[in-house]
Amino acid sequence: MKVAIIGAGPAGLSCALELERHGISPVVFEQRHRPGELFDHCAAVLELFTRPIDPLKDLRKNYFIDLHPIYTIKLLDMKSPAEKVTVRGNLGYFFLRGGDPNSVESQLYSKLQGGVVTNKKVNYTDIYQEYDYVVVASGGFDMSRTEGIWSTVYATKLIGGTVIGEFNPAKLFMWLDTRYSKTAYAYLVPMEKKRAFLGLVVPDSTLEEARERWKKFWEMEHHPYEQVNEVIVEHNAGFVYPHQVGNLLFAGVAGGFQEPFLGFGMLSAIKSGVLAGRAIATGKRYEDLLVQLKEDMKHSLILREMFNSVDNKALDNIMKVLGLPGVKQFIYNTNIDFIRIGTAAVAQVKNALTKIRNR
């Protein structure tokens, strides 16, 4: 069987690994000179969003992907304009991204038996007739939009860079303040004790606005760090349906698998990549294999919609509630899947209200 994969990010590489596991050797095209991100950063995966299963165990057991994080997240500091909450526990993992041998892309690539065709930008329209299947794992929405299956759900700019300073490798820091991040957030993730990635996510903004807000963020939070590079990228969450059109399968960000709430997408890119490969290899319907992932995206969207209308006062109130000992214990030190339970309840209330209004 002839299979092409467009993009050697987490989705494309994971898809290739699953195909190889089934004895199929795909051709992976990558426009860059090597697989994955060109700049170093660190991706957080929070256990809160994958409950009741630990994300690493889930990847190993259900997706046959064995990944090693650089650190376990043991500490989460969250700050709103007037409140601060610190949470302790086994909260998730930090994964390196970029060219480092320990990065996610390097780990996945090292397991691949076949290579990647680098420096090769391809469009599916040029190749789909040559292959039995083409997996679009390009990390963007261009090809999904051309097929008419993409709608943008949450468009943001992510501005940030590597900063030098003193960092706790087990700590994730998040700032919530509408004056610089509007309804999104800023965050600090360590790459090692003296190097971290500081980022600000700004929804619905131009490059100029994102830069202005980045300046404001530094001024308001008085960061003691030295910034050594600047990264500014479009970070879009979208809704995609269907995920397969003819012999084209869409995975990762291109398949709408970037969570709208926080813009996280590494885990869902890997999972959707594996499932695309599994669908091709086993003949199962891709859409059927995606049921759980699509459900996860739905819950994330409900959370996003809840946060889209918050102001700083509401953020402070949320933080106060999160800081209550009982609440903290319930959310962070149990294995209860409160995100799914909570967002499902919100969705039900919304549906009920809509029905009442439409009567």
Ligand X SMILES: Cc1cc2nc3c(=O)[nH]c(=O)nc-3n(C[C@H](O)[C@H](O)[C@H](O)COP(=O)(O)OP(=O)(O)OC[C@H]3O[C@@H](n4cnc5c(N)ncnc54)[C@H](O)[C@@H]3O)c2cc1C
> Is residue 55 reached through a cis peptide bond, with omega within 30 degrees of 0 on the bond before it?
no
Is the Cβ of residue 231 or residue 306 nearer to ligand X in the bound state? 231
Angle of CA points 295, 137, 267, to nearest 5°? 45
Binding to ligand X by residue 217, rule CB under 6 A?
A: no
Stretch near ligand X under the rule CB under 6 A, chosen from 50-58, 73-81, 221-229, 261-269: 261-269
- Are the C-beta atoms of 232 and 158 separated by less than 8 Å? yes
- Structure-block tokens of residue 221: 């939070």
Is the Cβ of residue 20 or residue 316 nearer to ligand X in the bound state? 20
Task: Report which residue type is found at 119.
Answer: N
The Cα–Cα gap between 16 and 115 comes to 10
Going by the DSSP 8-state scheme, the letter that residue 262 receives in this structure is T
Is the Cβ of residue 108 or residue 281 nearer to ligand X in the bound state? 108
Query: Which residue of 9, 26, 161, 277 would you call a contact of ligand X, by CB under 6 A?
Result: 9
Instruction: Please give the residues from 31 up to 90 whose contact with ligand X meets the rule CB under 6 A.
Output: 31-32, 36, 41, 43-45
Instruction: Please give the residues from 233 up to 252 whose contact with ligand X meets the rule CB under 6 A.
Output: 233, 252
Least separation in angstroms between residue 44's CB and ligand X is: 4
Binding to ligand X by residue 170, rule CB under 6 A?
A: no
Least separation in angstroms between residue 25's CB and ligand X is: 18
Least separation in angstroms between residue 266's CB and ligand X is: 3
Query: Which residue of 199, 203, 256, 260 would you call a contact of ligand X, by CB under 6 A?
Result: 199
Residue 124, classed as helix, strand or coil, is helix
- Are the C-beta atoms of 52 and 29 separated by less than 8 Å? no
Query: How many residues belong to the site for ligand X (CB under 6 A)?
Result: 34
Binding to ligand X by residue 227, rule CB under 6 A?
A: no
Stretch near ligand X under the rule CB under 6 A, chosen from 1-9, 53-61, 64-72, 288-296: 1-9
Residue 211: phi and psi, rounded to 5, are -65, -40
The Cα–Cα gap between 257 and 96 comes to 20
The Cα–Cα gap between 143 and 139 comes to 10
Binding to ligand X by residue 137, rule CB under 6 A?
A: yes
The Cα–Cα gap between 152 and 238 comes to 4
Least separation in angstroms between residue 28's CB and ligand X is: 9
Residue 283, classed as helix, strand or coil, is coil
**What are the residues binding ligand X (CB under 6 A)?**
6-12, 29-32, 36, 41, 43-45, 121-123, 137-139, 158, 199, 231, 233, 252-253, 258, 264-267, 269
